[in-house]
Structure 1
């Protein structure tokens, strides 16, 4: 194996989670002396206008846009990489992607976002570039699947079983947990952090995270309900939505129970001082909270993967989900009870997987050492619709 391989990590700015996973992976590689790591928003590079249009649609808070996204997500969940829509999606921008790969000459490609044109090309070369996929949610979608993938790294055993049901080989599906940055797995001095952020150590705080782009719905009403109907104070993160922050400051600047912030790189510190996280159901934010043993309430999960994340984790009693303000207040009152709160914390500690990024990097480096051909490079002499490959029937 090349002792300093060129690593390409494919990510996306759809939300903030994919970027954070890529960052965790990059840090883990560099901690081992592997510095030629390139993290690229490949879809944005290849199709900037389509990427921006898609991103705005994904972040649109309008009910119709959310419902349409959820319908599209559901209808495409079973797509096959070698057929129709799957082949089209994985082939978008192949010519430009090929130029990028030819210039970079990666020794390994890692996807943290399901734009898989690089996988499509990686498997075409004679020598082949090993391709790996790190899934960033708690539910499986067909967009992530590609026959040139050597290994999938997934959050749970149930996701592994879903992959196996799709025909993925046992050795290609690895339960790793979702990678998060090391700061979320380290102990924080709560008293020091309370003082640093100007918070009252005798109060308990709900950390209300609207997402990187401030898209959690009904924030003003949520703030009013929480300070009226519960004993919790609030730390409100408005993300990069400057208008939202300005509006909230106009309403709550003088209220000492409400602390308003924009986007922050100190999320792990704010989680450490909070009693509960109220958020949307992004896979990375949920994983970070679980690593911090911070009880979570997901409010009105968006259709698509976020609804899937919330449903799976709620069903396993790891988080709570509220679909309206009445359910939200009921959840908060439950969390005011020490016995209920500690049971949630116990379940989180039992579920959390530490050092996922390091584990995945070790698996990838071991695979490079062995230099086995990627799954997509195995040659099959098959008749259409008759033989089951690693990704279902052709």
Structure 2
């Protein structure tokens, strides 16, 4: 890393992962380099590994994350709640209507199920719980690069002929369109997925998470009324039925997303450097 910094004459560093930030901080502590080091935390919680002695500034997704950093001893003046930068398009309604027809999606209540780009989480169990509920809805499942999951779901639909229509999608570069046609998303709370959903005002149901950072992000969402969480006492199908029968729940989450949304994150971060 030191060789790379010296050969390329790097003058500033921004790290989107804790480990390289620690490595560069160690180089600064040993007086091997003397350049600004910024840490961009891409979750809505903080781990002790995010904090290192020679990090000059912390960029976080929300003010709540800044409070967590302050509790770890970081000065407020070095914390910038600019949001997590994402690259996602907004499509106009006419284009979305045409695209929905091309994907054979009608205007029924639409559930989007997703587990990140690798199709993580117990998505098959999620689908099995929802495929035959009496409510009339569309189910769209994004499997990402998980071809095994995609094949299993397609085989199940072929064998079982479930009540509710299901569309199975592999890896896609049109995720923003799926966000826009969905009424609610069932997903694990990865930092970038959450940021994209907040940007699209897409309410979330969280039935699973990876322990650690995603659990903290789940708590952030619940505390700010942007997601619902399933448990052994409240099944996923029950949560889906409640939002379908009580659309005010969805509107409440959308209003919270609008309040907590961070605009122009990438521009603000660039301006902070420049």
| TM-score normalised per structure 2 | 0.89
Contact kept? 1:188, 1:272, Cα under 8 Å: no
- The 3-state SS of whatever aligns with 2:131 is helix
Residue-by-residue CA offset, 1:173-199 (whole Å, 9 max, x unaligned): 11112211142xx34423133124332
Question: Is 1:137 aligned with 2:46?
Answer: no
Residues in 2 aligned to 1:228 and 1:128: alpha-carbon distance in whole angstroms:
61
Residues in 2 aligned to 1:285 and 1:127: alpha-carbon distance in whole angstroms:
35
Residues in 2 aligned to 1:357 and 1:315: alpha-carbon distance in whole angstroms:
26
Q: What pairs with 1:331-370 in structure 2 (closer than 5 Å)?
A: 331-336=239-244, 337-365=246-274
Partner of 1:279: 187
Using a 3 Å threshold, how does the CA distance of structure 1 residues 123 and 241 change in structure 2: closer, same or farther? Answer: same
Partner of 1:220: 124
Question: Is 1:203 aligned with 2:105?
Answer: no
Question: Is 1:288 aligned with 2:193?
Answer: no
Q: Flag structure 2 segments of 5+ consecutive residues without an equivalent.
A: none
Residues in 1 aligned to 2:49 and 2:131: alpha-carbon distance in whole angstroms:
41
Q: Cα distance, 1:131 vs. partner?
A: 0.6
Question: Is 1:248 aligned with 2:153?
Answer: yes
- The 3-state SS of whatever aligns with 2:273 is helix
Q: 1:148 aligns with which of 47, 54, 62?
A: 54
Q: Cα distance, 1:141 vs. partner?
A: 0.7
Q: What pairs with 1:1-394 in structure 2 (closer than 5 Å)?
A: 97-115=1-19, 116=21, 117-122=23-28, 124-125=30-31, 128-183=34-89, 186-189=90-93, 190-200=96-106, 202-217=107-122, 219-229=123-133, 230-253=135-158, 257-324=165-232, 326-336=234-244, 337-365=246-274
Residues in 2 aligned to 1:220 and 1:325: alpha-carbon distance in whole angstroms:
20
Q: Cα distance, 1:302 vs. partner?
A: 2.5
Q: Cα distance, 1:250 vs. partner?
A: 1.0
Contact kept? 2:145, 2:170, Cα under 8 Å: yes
Aligned length: 265
Q: Cα distance, 1:241 vs. partner?
A: 1.2
Residues in 1 aligned to 2:179 and 2:88: alpha-carbon distance in whole angstroms:
14
Partner of 1:389: none
Partner of 1:3: none
Residue-by-residue CA offset, 1:6-49 (whole Å, 9 max, x unaligned): xxxxxxxxxxxxxxxxxxxxxxxxxxxxxxxxxxxxxxxxxxxx
Pick which of 318-327 and 352-361 moved more.
318-327
Using a 3 Å threshold, how does the CA distance of structure 1 residues 126 and 98 change in structure 2: closer, same or farther? Answer: closer
Q: Cα distance, 1:301 vs. partner?
A: 2.2
| TM-score normalised per structure 1 | 0.63
Using a 3 Å threshold, how does the CA distance of structure 1 residues 220 and 260 change in structure 2: closer, same or farther? Answer: same
Using a 3 Å threshold, how does the CA distance of structure 1 residues 303 and 126 change in structure 2: closer, same or farther? Answer: closer
Using a 3 Å threshold, how does the CA distance of structure 1 residues 315 and 169 change in structure 2: closer, same or farther? Answer: closer
Q: Flag structure 1 segments of 5+ consecutive residues without an equivalent.
A: 1-96, 366-394
Residues in 2 aligned to 1:325 and 1:194: alpha-carbon distance in whole angstroms:
35
